Structure 1
Amino acid sequence: MFTGIIQGQAHVTAVDQRPGLSTIVLEFPADRVQGVEIGASISINGTCLTVTRQQGNQLYFDAMQETLRLTTLGDLKTNDSVNFERAARVGDEIGGHLLSGHVHTTATVERIEPSENNLTLVFRVPQAWMKYIFAKGYIAIEGASLTIGTVTEDTFNVHLIPETLRVTTFTQLAEGDRVNIEIDSQTQTIVDTLARMGFDNPPRQ
């Protein structure tokens, strides 16, 4: 499990693409690989991946075809930066919300709205997933736990504070870029339960 609190950025040093499988090599800050073991789970741009090898500060991850299809990991190339979070341990503070690292879909950056002290990003997601997105609810974007702002029929926005911008890759986004989305599991459960009971059009704020 993960908390959605991004711990930093890692940098792609190599991508080995083979049929149905990509091996991604990432270089981490030295203080973030201490105690990492082969088989450990790390969230990379919101996707739970398993460490298969370590060489100094570099960690190796294998991404299967299904992972590449559902996420943006197949788009990674050398020198790209990614958000990372190591798996939560018992007793860790949950600063965001609980995440599985299983990406549901991707969203497209519709608009970027900078202001003096923060940044607003507007995303467009496939219509089928909009039923789980509500104003003031939780969502994970590129592995970061964020609070949803305004919601329309097919878009939503988030407001990012300077600390979030400092730690994550969000300042590197451009309009048209894709990002990984993990829907809040509790919201999904409630919406799906109501739908089974016949209440499948909950009011939006």
Structure 2
Amino acid sequence: MINSKNSFVYTILFMILITAFFTFLLAGLNHMTSDAIALNEETDLRSTILYVFDINPNSNDPKIIEETFDKYVESKQIGDETIYYIEKNGEIIAYAFPVNGVALWGSIQAYASVSADFTELLGIDFISHNETPGLGGRITEEWFKEQFRGLDLTKSDNEEYIKYRPAPNGNVDAITGATITSNAVRDIFNENIHEFINKEGGEM
């Protein structure tokens, strides 16, 4: 007859050993992949900054992206944010800064680039979002992002730099079937651009 007490202790010890084994296994895998994950995240950020500056590294190779980034892009810390900039002939010509806000299904993290005189929006790109694939998720499509390049920031009404057509002075197209996400993107970028120009811009 099997001692029920010993059986119970055996079961507990077995579960502890199994849990410990898989814990150490996951910890080992995490350690082995942490450098690769960090590199991918850094590459994605560099690619985003280059994109909003309209600089094409002509490659998806992380090394080429890093070399292109280091060749053109500088950074500075303003408060708790990292601001990126590019220079030409020793003079700053453009800035890139983080953009954050809440859309339909969650937060949006992005970057925007403006000219150094704050008169032109040079580009936007998205780091992360939770919008619906095929609808609001289309904000990451090239046709949507590319239409923000070269927008005149001096013709805004009440800090509405971005306005959807067919509104008067509309300068970009919203995503059909994703009105709430489109409006959220518009408001998030308008708010962040206005804040950057009026708050951070004075320190440049």
Fold in common (TM above 0.5): no
Structure with greater Cα Rg: 2
Q: Which has the higher contact order (CA 8 A, sep 6+)?
A: 1
More helix by share: 2
More strand by share: 1
Taking structure 2 as the reference length, what is the TM-score of the superposition? 0.27
Taking structure 1 as the reference length, what is the TM-score of the superposition? 0.27
